[in-house]
Amino acid sequence: MTNIKQKAIALGAAVLLGISALPASSVAQTATEAWTGAIPGDTIYFGTDDNLVRIRGMLNNGDIDRAVVFASEYAESFEENKRSGKTSPRRYDAYNALCLALSAQKNYDAAREACDEAINESPERWMAYNSRGSLNLKSGNARAAAEDYRKALEYAPDTGDIKAILEHNVQLAQRGN
């Protein structure tokens, strides 16, 4: 396998890990968008939030602009709740989804703001650090990517391959890829 192909697969896995970590029910992934690193037939596991499932579906189908609009509206709905004194554990997930959608759109500055908002909401959850790490890697900031991946690794659960993928991401970023 060529070095370029290995880099593309690793970056795709990093971004895919961020997307797959969005809570919602299992859905067969059929996206062929290069930025997701998707392989048709992969199974992605989500929680039960229908809005996150819809965002993921839009991203899988390549409807990036629509995913950004929907994710923006979803995140904004939590701002309205927050102003009225209500809180929701889904606010973190909404901003992480927005980060991923904006990253897919290559709107890196806005994506970084969304990632930061998710991290500020729940600084001890790993997914948004991974998302921001992938964003940093895609936008050429390998040093910041490595820091984010290490932070994600610090908070990641010991289940599945999550830690192994994050360790790989750290190594990839440290090589400046």
Digit-coded pLDDT (tens) for 14-54: 454 554 444 432 222 233 333 333 333 333 334 458 999 99
CA separation (Å) from 10 to 6, 55, 100, 102, 141? 6, 23, 17, 20, 16
The span from the CA of 106 to the CA of 38, in Å, is: 17
Specify the pLDDT at position 92. 94
Specify the pLDDT at position 162. 92
CA separation (Å) from 62 to 55, 58, 76, 84, 126? 11, 6, 23, 35, 26
Specify the pLDDT at position 120. 94
More confident residue, 17 or 119: 119
Specify the pLDDT at position 30. 31
Q: What is the mean pLDDT of residues 103-109?
A: 96
Tens-digit pLDDT profile for residues 56-105: 999 999 999 999 999 999 999 888 777 777 778 799 999 999 999 999 99
User: Hey, what domains does the chain have and what are their CATH numbers?
Assistant: 3-174 (1.25.40.10)
